[in-house]
């Protein structure tokens, strides 16, 4: 494998973050300005899990650059994948990642992969095992479409959204708040939001019930506050997200409905804009009144996913 390959899997530097945001905002003004840049090239978008936004926005981004996207819903349409090196494949798995990733690498110029965590095998998840196997065996530049621990295209779209909205000279007050959910949910969106927000030089407060501390690799430098009302005071941006426990790995420790964000919770944050990556469980994570009101940025975030992907694909085509 060529070790000099460039990938897009994580926050790398404030400088690159600023470059990608700038390029995304230029594409937003004129989506077809580089419509020949990817001519004759193909991107393979490989999904091991469901998706609406990532699937469609990444294809639109590639098409805007003249590139041909092909989607494989590997979880539903591909052979059952074996991920473990040296496995004796005499049970349910049909095709080894070593073979599948190499074939996909030979078909495409760029690959984009979605591989969620197990939420049961902590060591595999924190080392991004499944995603790492694609990196190891495909031999092509890879874009993360959400791995076990990161969702960098979402985070880039979130940074683009905050940059567009916040015109004041001072720094914005950014809060990431845990919200209730009925299922055990990955940490990737919350991890990445923290990684990018802190990396871009913003101050970040994270608020969650006791026991919901995130992996410190992503939250170092953030203020942790278990009193949600206190954390939300004077916030400019409130990012709402559920995640399962990290310390008690993959467990649901609370579904306390008082953590659902409402207008009442934002009574001391008159200017606060509210963000969520979607899909959102309405009236569980976030109330209708917020989602349908003028504080909500969720549609802008989703729109910006196209230009986040376009700036990243364009950057990798230049590499």
Ligand X SMILES: NCCC[C@H](NC(=O)CCC(=O)O)C(=O)O
DSSP 213: P
- Which H helix or E strand runs over 90? none
DSSP 36: T
Picking from 196, 168, 153, 80, the residue whose alpha carbon sits closest to that of residue 302 is 153
Is residue 278 annotated as involved in ligand binding? yes
Rounded to whole angstroms, the Cα distance separating 309 from 217 reads 25
Is residue 303 annotated as involved in ligand binding? no
Residues that bind ligand X (CB under 6 A): 146, 183, 185-186, 188-189, 277, 279, 281
* Nearest residue relative to ligand CP (C-beta): 54
Task: State the minimum distance, in angstroms, from the CB of residue 281 to ligand X.
Answer: 5
Task: State the minimum distance, in angstroms, from the CB of residue 189 to ligand X.
Answer: 5
Look at residue 185 and give the partner it binds from ligand CP, ligand X, none, a contact being a CB closer than 5 to 8 Å depending on partner kind. Answer: ligand X
Look at residue 183 and give the partner it binds from ligand X, ligand CP, none, a contact being a CB closer than 5 to 8 Å depending on partner kind. Answer: ligand X
Look at residue 52 and give the partner it binds from ligand CP, ligand X, none, a contact being a CB closer than 5 to 8 Å depending on partner kind. Answer: ligand CP
Look at residue 281 and give the partner it binds from ligand CP, ligand X, none, a contact being a CB closer than 5 to 8 Å depending on partner kind. Answer: ligand X
- 45: which strand partners? 71, 112
Q: What angle do CA 203, 207, 213 make, to 5 degrees?
A: 100
Tokens 């995640």 -> residue: 243
Residues that bind ligand CP (CB under 6 A): 51-54, 146, 154, 277-279
Query: Measured from the CB atom, is 269 or 290 closer to ligand X?
Result: 290
Task: State the minimum distance, in angstroms, from the CB of residue 184 to ligand X.
Answer: 9
Task: State the minimum distance, in angstroms, from the CB of residue 291 to ligand X.
Answer: 14
Is residue 138 annotated as involved in ligand binding? no
Is residue 45 annotated as involved in ligand binding? no
Q: Where are the beta strands (DSSP E) in the chain?
A: 42-47, 68-73, 81-82, 95-96, 110-114, 142-144, 173-178, 203-207, 223-225, 237-241, 273-275
Kindly state the tokens that stand for 280: 């959102």
Is residue 153 annotated as involved in ligand binding? yes
Tokens 């059952």 -> residue: 80
Task: State the minimum distance, in angstroms, from the CB of residue 72 to ligand X.
Answer: 18
Is residue 277 annotated as involved in ligand binding? yes
Task: State the minimum distance, in angstroms, from the CB of residue 279 to ligand X.
Answer: 6
DSSP 71: E
* Nearest residue relative to ligand X (C-beta): 186
Is residue 10 annotated as involved in ligand binding? no
Cα(first)–Cα(last) distance of the chain, in Å?
16
Picking from 185, 203, 186, the residue whose alpha carbon sits closest to that of residue 194 is 203
CB atoms within 10 A of CB 58: 27
Q: Name the burial class of residue 226, with classes exposed (0-12), middle (13-18) and buried (19+) by CB atoms within 10 angstroms of its CB.
A: middle
Query: Measured from the CB atom, is 9 or 93 closer to ligand X?
Result: 9
Is residue 268 annotated as involved in ligand binding? no
Query: Measured from the CB atom, is 64 or 144 closer to ligand X?
Result: 144
Query: Measured from the CB atom, is 261 or 269 closer to ligand X?
Result: 261
Tokens 């899997």 -> residue: 9
Query: Measured from the CB atom, is 98 or 122 closer to ligand X?
Result: 122
Residue ranges for the binding site? 51-54, 79, 114, 146, 151-154, 181, 241, 277-278, 281, 305
Give the residue ranges of the annotated binding site for carbamoyl phosphate: 51-54, 79, 114, 151-154, 277-278, 305
């Amino acid at each position: 494998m060529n070790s000099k390959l460039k990938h897009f899997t994580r926050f790398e530097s404030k400088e690159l973050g600023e470059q990608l945001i700038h390029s995304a905002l230029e594409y937003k003004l004129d989506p077809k300005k580089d419509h020949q840049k990817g001519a004759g090239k193909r991107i393979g978008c490989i999904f091991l899990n469901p998706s609406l936004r990532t699937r469609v926005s990444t294809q639109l981004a590639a098409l805007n650059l003249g590139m041909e996207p092909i989607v494989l819903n590997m979880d539903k349409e591909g052979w059952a994948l074996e991920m473990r090196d040296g496995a004796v494949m005499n049970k349910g798995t049909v095709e080894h990642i070593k073979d599948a990733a190499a074939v996909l690498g030979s078909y495409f110029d760029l690959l984009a992969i979605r591989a969620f965590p197990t939420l049961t095998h902590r060591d595999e998840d924190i080392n991004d095992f499944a995603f790492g196997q694609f990196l190891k065996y495909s031999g092509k530049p890879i874009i993360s479409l959400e791995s076990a621990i990161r969702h960098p295209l979402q985070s880039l779209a979130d940074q683009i959204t905050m940059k567009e909205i916040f015109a004041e000279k001072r720094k914005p007050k950014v809060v990431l708040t845990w919200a209730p959910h009925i299922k055990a949910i990955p940490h990737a969106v919350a991890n990445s939001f923290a990684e990018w927000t802190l990396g871009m030089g913003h101050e970040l407060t994270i608020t969650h019930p006791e026991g919901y501390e995130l992996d410190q690799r992503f939250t170092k430098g953030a203020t942790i506050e278990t009193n949600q009302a206190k954390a939300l005071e004077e916030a400019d941006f409130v990012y709402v997200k559920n995640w399962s426990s990290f310390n008690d790995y993959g467990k649901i420790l609370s579904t306390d409905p008082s953590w659902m964000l409402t207008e009442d919770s934002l009574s001391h944050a008159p200017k606060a804009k509210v963000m969520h990556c979607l899909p959102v469980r309405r009236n569980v994570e976030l109330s209708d009144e917020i989602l349908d009101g003028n504080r909500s940025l969720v549609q802008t975030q989703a729109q910006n996913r196209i230009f986040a992907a376009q700036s990243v694909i364009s950057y990798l085509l230049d590499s």
